[in-house]
Amino acid sequence: MRYLITNKTISFLLFASFTILISCTPIQLKPTPTAELNPSTEAQSLASSSTIKAVQKTPSSNVNLSKNLWSRLFSLYQFPTIENDRIQAEIDWYSKHPDYLIRVQQNAKPYLFHIVNEIEKRGLPGELALLPIVESAYKPFAYSHGRAAGLWQFIPSTGVAYGLKQTWWYDGRRDVYASTNAALTYLTKLSKRFDDDWFLALAGYNAGGGSVSSAMRKNRRLGRPTDFWALSLRKETRHYVPKLIAIASILANADKYNVTLIDIPNEPFFEKVNITKQLDLARAAELAEISIEDLYILNPSFNQWATSPEGPHYLLLPVSKSADFKTKLAALPDSQRLKWVHHKVKNGETLGQIARRYRTTVTQIKQANPIKNNLIRAGKHLLIPTANYNNRLYASNADMRKSDIINTSRQGQKVEYYVQSGDSFWSIAKQYGVGVRSLAKWNAMAPRDTLRIGQKLVIWSQHPTHPSPRTQLASKRKNQTIRYTVKSGDSLYLISRKFNVSIIDLKRWNTLNKKYLKPGQKLKIIVDVTRT
């Protein structure tokens, strides 16, 4: 049979083919959350639940244009939805402490956009942007009894392994930019080690990959599951992953848990600005037209009054201030980057003594002067780089808030007082109407201890004088109190070396009369975070 094919027939066939083609084309749908575990089967499936692989979520093209960073962050979540008693216990705790969640959000505000950006670039789970809440409450000066520092809580050795320099001038563990890069690199490496199981990777970040692998090998020998929920790990690590899951869940379901999300714009808070060489930090704040405290919030890695002469040579500055700063810095003569003083060497002086006096290093003095073999002669003039302004102005970065120092009465208003020439415990106590012993205890000292000019003291007074602007500016303390558990083989000497404190101070802080320590004994140690 023959068919007559006309132009109208051809048009109809083409239209039908096109319609069929369109109907067969897959339509990309918004990812559906992973189904929750049935509570009735939780007892038998708790161990295996963490092995569920999360679906890769691809945010829609307009997510980055959202005005709110939270929407963007939640779209990057990849963890599977899991319910168990350990997670619920953490959810219950955070739900009962909404003020804490407000505080950590406020702490995170300057840094969160950058961290979310870096996580999205690498295709990592968005939940990782909340890990600094678990690690440090998003405090860049956080310091732990294990000598971990910064937002991401790197210990010294792991910091070095991931390129975070730690020098007299600079501690990369507290560098927001560098430590974020190091942490995400480390987490990615752990994820690959544990076959993309992020719960095992996170456990490895907390306890060490070796500890997690060892626990997995033990379970295999016993014929048990090897996922995170089934492993026998230390108490801190067992709580670590549930804490992150709980925080991520609560923030993503803020209405359900009656939690307020503060407004964090989906736009950069800071810009990384190249400064090419060493720069006085007070001068930098002046050029950026911000307070030095605001400069330190974004640049907590600097231990001294200037950036490191060996680098890194960059500063993080508010986006709104960066353009003017770059213009002013380009016009700044090198002679005004640092303040230079002429020092006449006295009889018996050493380079080390001179460096300590001017808060600089022997190396930098030698670089600025033709000195060989550390030999200097009395009467010789040295050119020394030093702080542009009063040292108190630079205290904001070095001074961190202490934990409760000692169990003693602290009624009244807190005052921060800087020791002046001629001061004594007695004269300061009399001025503020407090007891000498209380004043000493508030500052973890004894009444007979020597005070240093410029030293900061905390006073709880019923009749305080109004603090000066510089005192108000220096709101963070460099000394942080930690609790250390004595381990087998520890001695006062080894502990003093580990935390860079004196044996005399260790004895004084802990009223130690005996020569020997016992494993499990708790010690109070007041650590200068800029020297660890």
Q: Please, what CATH class does the domain formed by 479-528 belong to?
A: alpha beta
**Which among 204, 203, 149 is positioned nearest to 179, based on CA atoms?**
149
Query: In this predicted structure, what is the pLDDT of residue 337?
Result: 92
Amino acid at 147: R
- The SS3 assignment for 153 reads coil
Amino acid at 287: L
Query: In this predicted structure, what is the pLDDT of residue 154?
Result: 96
Query: In this predicted structure, what is the pLDDT of residue 481?
Result: 80
Q: Which two tokens stand for residue 251?
A: 């923030």
Strand partners, 384: 341
Query: In this predicted structure, what is the pLDDT of residue 505?
Result: 79
Cβ–Cβ under 8 Å, residues 503 and 493:
yes
What are the residue boundaries of the structural domains of the chain, listed by start? 50-252, 271-334, 339-387, 402-473, 479-528
**Which among 437, 444, 436 is positioned nearest to 511, based on CA atoms?**
444
Q: How far apart are the first and last CA of the chain?
A: 94
Q: How many residues does the chain have?
A: 532
Burial class (CB in 10 A: 0-12, 13-18, 19+), 203: buried
**Strand pairing category for 479-485 and 522-528:** antiparallel
Per the confidence metrics, is the pTM higher than 0.75?
A: no
**Strand pairing category for 413-418 and 339-344:** unpaired
50-252 and 402-473: identical CATH topology: no
What are the DSSP calls for 33-91, one per residue? PPPPPPGGGHHHHTTTGGGSPPPPP---TTGGG-SBHHHHHHHT--SPP---HHHHHHH
Instruction: State which CATH number among 3.40.47.10, 3.40.50.150, 3.40.50.720, 3.10.350.10 fits the domain covering 339-387.
Output: 3.10.350.10
The radius of gyration computed from the CA coordinates of the chain, to the nearest angstrom, equals 29
Q: Which two tokens stand for residue 391?
A: 């040292």
Task: Give me the torsion for CA of 179, 185, 188, 189, rounded to 10°.
Answer: -120
**CA-CA distance, 374 to 9, in Å (whole number)?**
99
Instruction: State which CATH number among 3.20.20.70, 3.10.350.10, 3.40.50.300, 3.40.50.920 fits the domain covering 402-473.
Output: 3.10.350.10
Cβ–Cβ under 8 Å, residues 520 and 486:
yes
Query: In this predicted structure, what is the pLDDT of residue 368?
Result: 82
Strand partners, 273: 315
What are the DSSP calls for 309-372, one per residue? TTS--EEEEEHHHHHHHHHHHHTS-GGGTSEEEEEEPPTT--HHHHHHHTT--HHHHHHHTT--
Q: In Å, what is the CA distance from 106 to each residue of 111, 141, 181? A: 10, 15, 22
Cβ–Cβ under 8 Å, residues 424 and 452:
no
Query: In this predicted structure, what is the pLDDT of residue 437?
Result: 76
Q: Please, what CATH class does the domain formed by 50-252 belong to?
A: mainly alpha
The catalytic residues are: 135
- The SS3 assignment for 483 reads strand
**CA-CA distance, 387 to 394, in Å (whole number)?**
9
**CA-CA distance, 527 to 141, in Å (whole number)?**
12
**CA-CA distance, 485 to 435, in Å (whole number)?**
32
Q: What are residue 272's phi and psi, to 5 degrees?
A: -85, 120
- pLDDT by 10-residue block (mean), the chain, 532 residues: 40 40 34 31 37 37 60 96 93 94 96 98 98 95 86 95 93 97 98 98 97 97 97 96 97 95 96 96 93 92 90 97 97 89 89 85 85 86 79 54 36 75 76 81 67 76 50 47 86 83 82 79 82 60
Query: In this predicted structure, what is the pLDDT of residue 500?
Result: 81
| Residues 47-73: b if buried by 16+ CB within 10 A, e if exposed | bebbbbebeeeebeeebeebeebbebb
Q: What are residue 414's phi and psi, to 5 degrees?
A: -80, 135
